Amino acid sequence: QKEVEQDPGPLSVPEGAIVSLNCTYSNSAFQYFMWYRQYSRKGPELLMYTYSSGNKEDGRFTAQVDKSSKYISLFIRDSQPSDSATYLCAMSTSNTGNQFYFGTGTSLTVIP
Amino acid sequence: GAGVSQSPSNKVTEKGKDVELRCDPISGHTALYWYRQSLGQGLEFLIYFQGNSAPDKSGLPSDRFSAERTGGSVSTLTIQRTQQEDSAVYLCASSLLGGAGSEQFFGPGTRLTVL
């Protein structure tokens, strides 16, 4: 079993839709949860960062962490064509040194 | 300011040849990471540097892979006797201090194709 599972998609939505992206994980020790956005032929860039459980909102983006279910989500409201990218979840814990565990990424296309 | 840069951006090589991939991290960042990204596989951790030391080499897939970092800055990932399964995008990232909660800044990657 992989440490982090993420549905690769692809996911295609119309402009303005609410997008929900999800990851599940197996290591209950994970404390830090991140979402990265990766455009084609580019490196990933950090989008959202959450420590432990709870919600975090930044503009159109909301990250949720449910540690009891080992489940994290990223919601994108009022999706735009510029949101079309691959979204990777990542997580880590100080117990694993400096290893970050990434999901496989979900490919999202927002259709104008 | 300048971000993380990697060179070359693309590398095509023949099976059995050695390749060197270079990473220039953000100035002042003490931590540097190498990852491999294959289609459908996500980012696979390879190695982590803190300064010039590599306390965690656990992700290197075989002894054909090695990496070094000099002057607390530039890092080189070397793959000897390349195999077709080594074909992937190799990503480098740096962070200011390292640590489990640190933000990593990624370079654009080197796309390696082994024929």
Start-to-end CA span in chain B (Å): 37
Query: Residue A71 is encoded by which pair of tokens?
Result: 């489940």
User: Chain B: residue nearest A88 by CA?
Assistant: B42
Residue B1 has pLDDT above 60, yes or no: no
Name the pLDDT band for A7 (thresholds 50, 70, 90). confident
Start-to-end CA span in chain A (Å): 38
**pLDDT single digits (tens) B19-71:** 999 999 999 999 999 999 998 778 999 999 998 998 878 889 999 999 999 98
Query: Residue A88 is encoded by which pair of tokens?
Result: 């990777």
- How many A×B Cβ pairs under 8 Å? 72
The share of chain A scoring above pLDDT 70, in percent, equals: 96
Determine, for residues A43 and B106 on separate chains, whether the beta-carbon distance falls below 8 Å.
yes
d(CA B25, CA B91): 11
Determine, for residues B106 and A100 on separate chains, whether the beta-carbon distance falls below 8 Å.
no
Alpha-carbon distance B68 to nearest alpha carbon in chain A (angstroms): 17
Among residues B75, B84, B93, B80, the alpha carbon closest in space to that of B113 is found at B84
**pLDDT single digits (tens) A9-59:** 899 999 999 999 999 999 998 999 999 999 998 999 999 999 888 899 999
SS3 assignment, position B43: strand
pLDDT for res B100: 78
Q: Does B91 touch chain A (CB under 8 A)?
A: yes
Using only C-alpha atoms, what is the Rg of chain A? 14
B96: burial class by Cβ within 10 Å (0-12, 13-18, 19+)? middle
Give the helix, strand, coil percentages of chain B, each rounded to 5: 5, 50, 45
